[in-house]
Amino acid sequence: MLIHLKGCFTILGEIKCNSEAREFRFEVPIEDAPAVLVVLIPSDNTVESFAKFDVPKEMLEVLQSDPSEKDLSEKFQTELSKMKAPLKQATRRVLNLVKYCFNQVELDEALFSIKDTYWSVDETEWKRLPMDGRITGAVRGFVYLNENTAKAIQQYLKSSFEPFLALEYLHRAKRESNPRHKWIDATIAAELAIKEFLIRKQSDIKTLLLEVPSPPLRKMYGSVLESYVNECSPKLKELAKGAEVRNRLIHRPEDKLIDAQESNVYVQDVEIAIYHLLTLLHPKDPIMKMFYRPRIIVA
């Protein structure tokens, strides 16, 4: 059965446009997937992307039953994610070309955010597609500023505490929507964090760490960390794999190695690894402990 999908996206930043045309249409070829029609509407900061998919009768019946996210099986969630992916990929390709080929600096590097995705059998009546109920968003845990937490800030000031520089890259990874850039920033955060940890743990090795090429993350978060604190990182395996993927993303940028879900899970793994280091430095700090605690956010 043939169904139509429509992805609705918000443009982040601004596209400079001097045309009276309300919209611009682009046909985007996608490898191993149907071509996508991307409709760019700069005046509304909106993108609408359309594609057609053949789906089995069973899936159509599920969609027609108007299911909630929690009603979908893992199989159907996976299939829906595969169908939505070309819409996002095509949207990113168009906006990426506009930004970098036309030197549109005001268009944000993240390019777009997702509003919703819809399906239809006749392109007239559109129904909202269930969202993926698995992990789809980066961890957004934070602490509110109030009378009690302000005391913690004052205590940090008294003790001359400074956050890891690595956290800047971690936050950048969380905000980034492009899976490739998200993964690279998260890996940089992991590399900086272990160096900052070791320097604070034993300051006399600072010059060595900063001037000599570092061992790979699998050693830094493994045997090196263990030699100082008698334990390896709880995310050693994930960080080792993450560094390998990062290297391929940089040296083989044409390869499509990861998707949004994988990159968000990886960012969470890096965050846990970094806060594990901070709890080793500050074992009595309740805020560090809170952020180290493994978390899952369900979209």
Which tokens is 226 given?
A: 């263990």
Which tokens is 237 given?
A: 């395996």
Which tokens is 243 given?
A: 């560094």
Domains of the chain: total: 2
Question: Both 46 and 163 in a single domain?
Answer: no
173: Cα separation from own chain's centroid: 6
Rounded Cα–Cα distance for residues 232 and 221 (Å):
6
Q: How crowded is residue 224: how many other Cβ atoms within 10 Å of its Cβ?
A: 16
The radius of gyration of the chain's CA atoms, rounded to the nearest angstrom, is 23
Residue 137 lies in a domain: no
- Which ranges constitute the DSSP H helices of 45-178? 57-64, 74-101, 147-158, 166-175
Helix (H/G/I), strand (E/B), else coil: 181: helix
Average pLDDT rounded to a whole number, residues 77-104: 89
- Bridge partners (DSSP) of residue 30 are 33
pTM as predicted:
0.61
Question: Both 119 and 160 in a single domain?
Answer: no
What is the model's pLDDT at position 59?
A: 84
Decide if 271 contacts 140 (C-beta within 8 A): no
Query: Looking up tokens 């392109």, which residue turns up?
Result: 123
Question: Both 109 and 192 in a single domain?
Answer: no
Is residue 131 over pLDDT 80?
Answer: no
What is the model's pLDDT at position 121?
A: 92
**Domain of residue 54, residue span:** 2-128
Task: Kindly report the length of the chain.
Answer: 299
DSSP H or E run through 273: helix 260-281
Residue 241 lies in a domain: yes
Question: Both 116 and 229 in a single domain?
Answer: no
Nearest to 5 by CA among 61, 65, 53: 53
Is residue 105 over pLDDT 80?
Answer: yes
Average pLDDT rounded to a whole number, residues 34-53: 93
